[in-house]
Structure 1
Amino acid sequence: MEIISIIEYIGIASAALSGYLFGVKKGCDWLGVFLAAFLTALGGGILRDMLVSRAIYSFTHYMPMIIVILVLVVANFTNLHKKRDKLEKKFIFIFADAIDVICFSIVGAMVAVEYGHNVFGVGLMAFFNGVGGGILRDILLNEVPWFLTTGLYGTISLCVGISYYLLYLAGFTGVFFVLCLLALGITIRMFAYYNGWRLPPLKD
């Protein structure tokens, strides 16, 4: 599915930019900024590949790392970090972030199905692929993982994985159905973000 690869690359780029801005915000040096961008963009895929015991995709293919490095170079030369406060609230940035989490979740679900996982495995694989990079980044930078506090981030990732599994059981795994799932996931994520939807917190 070439179109899925293209969308995934867009997701890697937006995730790398998000990690770059987060690293700058935390006052990291260049190594820290690179690690923040690398983990955000590729950390979920690394977790996915480790869980299914296969060669790590970003370590056996050049394009993912090339995209991360290009994003860092372009972001630095265009001084995007100086426009961070405005950029993080722009529709295009939020939209790109929604693309990467939903696309990564679908890819994670696809890999889990390929390796014969059940519905729980598929849902969790989608989750780890979708938000795992952000979790690793936040642990590295001593932050409460972002997905736990904002816009049904992790919940949507899980639901997308389970939805793909149901489509798989029904035999609807063609490009059209995958793109419909992608569009639906992005739409729900955007509504969740702008309406402040979240699961209710537990009260002591």
Structure 2
Amino acid sequence: MESFLIVEYIGIISASISGFLFAVRRACDLLGIFIAAFLTALGGGIMRDMLVGRELYSFTHYMPVLLVLGAVLLSAVLGLHKSSRKGLEKSLIFIATDAIDVVSFSIVGAVVALGFGLNIFGVVLIAFVNGVGGGILRDVLLNEIPWLLNTGFYGTVSLLVGLIYFGLYHLGFDGIITMFVLCAFGVVLRLIAYYKNWQLPKINYEN
């Protein structure tokens, strides 16, 4: 198994849990919960593969969907939703899983883009799409304002992770250890940004 798939599988499991929690909060039925988890976990990867002209990994391998099913089932059995029905945005388990999947998928997107010989702009874009694409699809499906648009440093962390991995790759640091270190850095940065309420500058509209 390619080493970067470990990072992707971690992202799929984390994204499935956050999708599960989001769907429970919106009072979805079992099918709705699975679709929300599926889109959160695999939507960004499907968009990534379409953009680079790669066969859709989620539909040519069994593991991605099996991980989604397993994560949703385990979340329900463990009752993760019982403490997260209200105030989901402030739930540590949701914030943590969401941060892990964004960062993990951003790294995987950068790896795939580099494998297709894309330049720095292509690598950062694919990392971004892979990192936040699933969350956007989930939010649109559940009629939520995408977190990308109103949560500080959400998309910024994805872009930054893609850019850093591009630099590390060309410096010869592209092994699994590098991926895990970068993943840890990205998750910590995202959590700090969330709890410190860091925001990019805004342009205020004035009449």
Q: State if a TM-score over 0.5 links the two structures.
A: yes
Q: Is the aligned partner of 1:126 residue 2:127? A: yes
Q: Is the aligned partner of 1:200 residue 2:171? A: no
Matched AA of 1:9: Y
Q: Which residue of 2 aligns with 1:61?
A: 61
C-alpha separation in 2, matches of 1:191 and 1:89 = 13
3-state DSSP class of the match of 1:172? coil
Provide structure 2 residue ranges, at least 5 long, that are not aligned to the other structure: none
C-alpha separation in 2, matches of 1:17 and 1:147 = 18
C-alpha separation in 2, matches of 1:13 and 1:178 = 17
Q: Is the aligned partner of 1:111 residue 2:126? A: no
Provide structure 1 residue ranges, at least 5 long, that are not aligned to the other structure: none
Compared CA separation, residues 21 and 90, structure 1 to 2 (3 A): closer
Q: CA deviation at 1:46?
A: 0.5
Matched AA of 1:62: Y
Deviation digits for residues 10-48 of structure 1 (CA, Å, limit 9, x no counterpart): 221111111111112122222221111100011111100
C-alpha separation in 2, matches of 1:12 and 1:49 = 15
Q: Which residue of 2 aligns with 1:170?
A: 171
Matched AA of 1:178: M
C-alpha separation in 2, matches of 1:90 and 1:8 = 23
3-state DSSP class of the match of 1:147? helix
**TM-score, with length taken from structure 2:** 0.89
Matched AA of 1:48: R
**Conservation of the 8 A alpha-carbon contact between 2:25 and 2:88:** no
Bigger shift: residues 51-60 or 168-177: 168-177
Q: CA deviation at 1:78?
A: 3.3
3-state DSSP class of the match of 1:203? coil
**Conservation of the 8 A alpha-carbon contact between 1:41 and 1:68:** yes
C-alpha separation in 2, matches of 1:77 and 1:175 = 32
Bigger shift: residues 88-97 or 133-142: 88-97
1:31-180 correspondence to structure 2 within 5 Å:
31-84=31-84, 85=86, 89-180=90-181
1:180-191 correspondence to structure 2 within 5 Å:
180-191=181-192
C-alpha separation in 1, matches of 2:199 and 2:170 = 29
Bigger shift: residues 172-181 or 31-40: 172-181
C-alpha separation in 2, matches of 1:114 and 1:2 = 12
Identical-residue share of aligned pairs (%): 58
C-alpha separation in 2, matches of 1:119 and 1:137 = 28
Compared CA separation, residues 175 and 78, structure 1 to 2 (3 A): closer
Compared CA separation, residues 54 and 102, structure 1 to 2 (3 A): same
**TM-score, with length taken from structure 1:** 0.91
Between the two structures, name the one with larger relative contact order (CA 8 Å, sep ≥ 6).
2
